[in-house]
Amino acid sequence: MIKRTSGAILVTLFAGNVAHAQDEGAIQVGKFDIKPGLTTDVLHIDNVTYASEEADEIDSWVSVVSPKIDAYTEFNGHIIEMGYRLERGDYYSTDADDYTDHFAHLKGDFEINDRNRFKGVATYEAGHDERGRRYSNGFGNELTSVDTYKNSEVGAIYSYGALTAFGRIDLSVGYEDMDYDGDTELYLIRDRSTTKYGAEFVYRIVDGTNLLLDADRNEIRYDYDANPANPLDSIENRLLAGFSWDVNAVTQSYAKLGYKEKSFDAASRDDFSGLAWEVGMSWLPYSYSEFKVSTKQDTRETNTTGADYIRGTDYAISWEHSWVQRFSTTATMALMNDDYVGDVEDLREDDTKKLTLAADYEFRRWLTFGLYYSMNDRESNRSDIEFDRNVYGLTAKVTL
């Protein structure tokens, strides 16, 4: 299913702003503000299973209904947030793609004193991969249902140093578990867990310019190995250094460059060591218009495609503009290059382009209508996994 915004992942929740949700109406229950909402979509997809030109493409109208409920409370400067969302998708031309997903999260933001802060978050998703995505690239038509999974994640960040101090440090720890439904080898080989550690040091050189040092470690463990002598278990270490600039009130940017290594437990697999980066900038020429650009290079897991890892490079640009008080548009373009690395034949090289255009009209404070279009195109050295996909949608969001 096309998603105009990403789900409730760890970084999104840590960076989220409760104040935005406060604009919605609330029901007071004890010390909690309860905020229900409902989003409905009607859309048309011209290539449901991401099929190539060599296969039959399925087109379908789709209806998506997504009710949610969030609860917030604040005490002594601390904020607690929890929420649940259900998403049901029904395809008019193919029952095999119907799905029901569940999302839940719990977040705490604790201000101990001006030098000590703590944030914690837990998320749970009973979700799905569409036919033709991830492991079923190129043969989505052969599946009789979507590929369902359970994903759970917990994380915490401890911050030391006043926000006005010259230096501060963030220490983080997290754990993520991915568990695909099904007990055959096809499912078991994709189940994995990741233990995460991180530290970031920020030092203010002059007003508006900060030195950044960022280190993290991921320990990736697969629950099942099709070949016990050649497991995909690995340890990743990354160190980045760079700067952030707040040139003025309308321009903020950051650039971090460094070194990444990925070491496999199996000696027969190709370890990686090389360059990694994160660069981004936001520019607000007006209070009602914002441009963002970003790029990132890192490694990704392969979902058992036969390779050892994926060397990924991403580029993105977006423009959000409020034309009048109630009408806004968003345009996003993303380019992704994935090189599959390993000692196997016919390794993939994919180039994917994604374009999303959306327009929203706030008919009432509690009712918003939207139109959107999404284009997804992948070119590859393997013709069976190339595809073109277009999605047209109408959405309505209701709150209190």
Task: Please say if the pLDDT value at position 284 is more than 50.
Answer: yes
Q: Which residues pair with 395 in a beta bridge?
A: 41, 370
Quick one: average pLDDT of 293-307?
A: 87
Q: Which residue matches tokens 């002594």?
A: 76
**Above 50 in pLDDT, residue 290?**
yes
For 150-195, write each residue's pLDDT tens digit: 999 999 999 999 988 899 999 999 999 999 998 888 788 889 999 9
Which residue bears the tokens 């099904």?
182
Instruction: State the pLDDT at residue 3.
Output: 53
Output the pLDDT for position 349.
92
Q: Mapping DSSP to helix (H, G, I), strand (E, B) and coil, where does residue 185 land?
A: helix
Cα–Cα distance measured from residue 279 to residue 317, given in angstroms and rounded to the nearest whole number = 12
**Which pairing describes strands 27-29 and 78-91: parallel, antiparallel, or unpaired?**
unpaired
Least confident of 38-47, 116-125, 221-230: 221-230
| pLDDT, mean over the chain | 90
Q: Which two tokens stand for residue 169?
A: 């440090």
Q: What is the mean pLDDT of residues 257-276?
A: 94
Kindly tell me if the per-residue pLDDT of 23 is higher than 80. no
Confidence (pLDDT) at 10? 33
Higher pLDDT, 138 or 104: 104
Mean pLDDT lowest among 5-9, 292-296, 320-324, 326-330: 5-9
Cα separations in angstroms, 329 against 273, 286, 312, 353? 41, 15, 29, 20
pLDDT of residue 53: 87
Q: What is the pLDDT of residue 378?
A: 96
Q: How many CB atoms within 10 Å of residue 40?
A: 14
- Report the pLDDT averaged over residues 12-41: 70
Identify the CA nearest to 268 among candidates 234, 219, 299, 302.
234
Tokens 């994903």 sit on residue: 151
Provide the 3-class DSSP secondary structure of residue 97.
helix
Look at residue 15 in the predicted model and tell me its pLDDT.
37
Residue 295 CA neighbour count, 13 Å, CB half: 9
Q: What is the pLDDT of residue 317?
A: 98
pLDDT at 20 over 50: no
With beta carbons less than 8 A apart as the criterion, state whether 122 and 106 touch.
yes
pLDDT of residue 235: 97
The predicted model gives 332-354 an average pLDDT of 89
pLDDT of residue 16: 36
- Amino acid of residue 227: N
What are the phi and psi torsion angles at 301 (to 5°)? Answer: -75, 155
Give the model's confidence band at 211: pLDDT under 50 very low, under 70 low, under 90 confident, else very high: very high
Tell me the pLDDT band of 25, cut-offs 50, 70 and 90.
Answer: confident
Distances (CA, A) of 118 to 12, 107, 195: 16, 11, 19
User: Which ranges of the chain does DSSP label H, i.e. alpha helix?
Assistant: 10-15, 18-21, 185-188
The dihedrals phi and psi of 288, each to the nearest 5 degrees, come to -105, 10
> Is it the case that residue 18 has pLDDT exceeding 90?
no
Q: In the block, which residue shows the tokens 């994380």?
A: 155
Rama region for 76: left / alpha / beta (φ>0; ψ in -120 to 50; rest): left
What's the confidence (pLDDT) of residue 241? 98
4-13, 58-67, 303-312: segment of lowest average pLDDT: 4-13
For residue range 222-246, list pLDDT tens digits in order.
998 878 888 999 999 999 999 999 8
In angstroms, rounded to a whole number, what is the distance separating the alpha carbons of residues 305 and 297?
20
Q: What is the DSSP letter of 209?
A: E
* pTM summary value: 0.89
Q: Are 134 and 151 in contact (CB under 8 A)?
A: no
What is the average pLDDT across 323-345?
91
Give the pLDDT of residue 305: 67
- pLDDT exceeds cutoff 60 at 129: yes
Residue 120 has pLDDT above 90, yes or no: yes
pLDDT > 90? residue 21: no
Quote the radius of gyration of the chain (alpha carbons, Å): 22
Supply the pLDDT for residue 22.
40
What is the model's pLDDT at position 2?
Answer: 52
What's the pLDDT at 8? 31
- Closest CA relative to residue 101, chosen from 129, 134, 123: 129
Handedness of CA 302, 306, 310, 315 (dihedral sign): negative
Q: Are 141 and 49 in contact (CB under 8 A)?
A: yes
The span from the CA of 261 to the CA of 395, in Å, is 43
**What confidence score (pLDDT) does residue 5 get?**
43
Quick check: 358 pLDDT over 50? yes
Percent of the chain with pLDDT over 90: 74
- Segment 378-393, tens digit of pLDDT: 999 989 999 999 999 9
